[in-house]
Amino acid sequence: MSSSTIREQTAAPHEFPVVPDDHWVERLHDGSYVLIRQLRQEDRAREIEFIRRLSPDSRRARFLSEFREPSPALVDQMMTVDGDRSAAFVALVHDDGTLREIGISRYGATSEPDTGECAISVADDWQRRGLGTILMRRAMGMALRHGYRRMISLDAASNDTMHHFTHRLGFSRCTDPDDGTQVIHSIDLVGA
């Protein structure tokens, strides 16, 4: 890999990075490096293991439900991306000679025109290093390039971590009119 593909995330909060052709390496706040690329079908086993390794609190925050084992239907849903109406970026590290998934961001179309719903999850032992911000900016940037003008995220109202994270990225927050236990974070990608 050339040195030009290894770069530190230096974009201002309102700038979206360009997505390189295949993969790239990012340096996190603690100095560690992670490989990032779009999710591929060959990542299915990694995605299952990633979901299994999340703490119960992290799984509940991400999926708004409790379970111990991801169902085949859930895994199928997580693996279904087309790179246009939906996309996912996976962060990988070497762990005893094997690539291990440590984070993922994604977006998909909603019923509202030009609006995508996004989600993010970072392994418990990799949180608070800047990985979530890098992954979410990639997803937002690709969504914008594919015609999305607005991004939303549905989260539990009690998820303070997500509230602080989305606030730092410029999202606004309101109570879900259909479910008072949830909030909707939203951002205008064009003005971000």
Per-residue 3-state assignment (H helix, E strand, C coil) for 127-170: CCCCHHHHHHHHHHHHHHHCCCCEEEEEEECCCHHHHHHHHHCC
Residue pair 29/130 in contact by the 8 Å Cβ criterion: yes
The owner of tokens 């279904």 is 80
- 154 bridge partner residues: 184
Query: Using CA atoms in the order 171, 173, 133, 45, what is the torsion angle rounded to 10 degrees?
Result: -130
Domain ranges of the chain: 3-148
Identify which of 79, 74, 97, 73 has the alpha carbon closest to the alpha carbon of residue 40. Answer: 79
One digit per residue, the tens of pLDDT, for the chain of length 192 reads 333 333 333 333 334 444 445 788 999 999 999 999 999 999 999 999 999 999 999 999 999 888 889 999 999 999 999 988 999 999 999 988 899 999 999 999 999 989 999 999 999 999 999 999 999 999 999 999 999 999 999 999 999 999 999 999 999 999 999 999 999 999 999 976
Q: Which CATH number fits domain 3-148: 3.20.20.70, 3.40.1160.10, 3.40.630.30, 1.10.287.620?
A: 3.40.630.30
Contact 155, 183 (CB under 8 A): yes
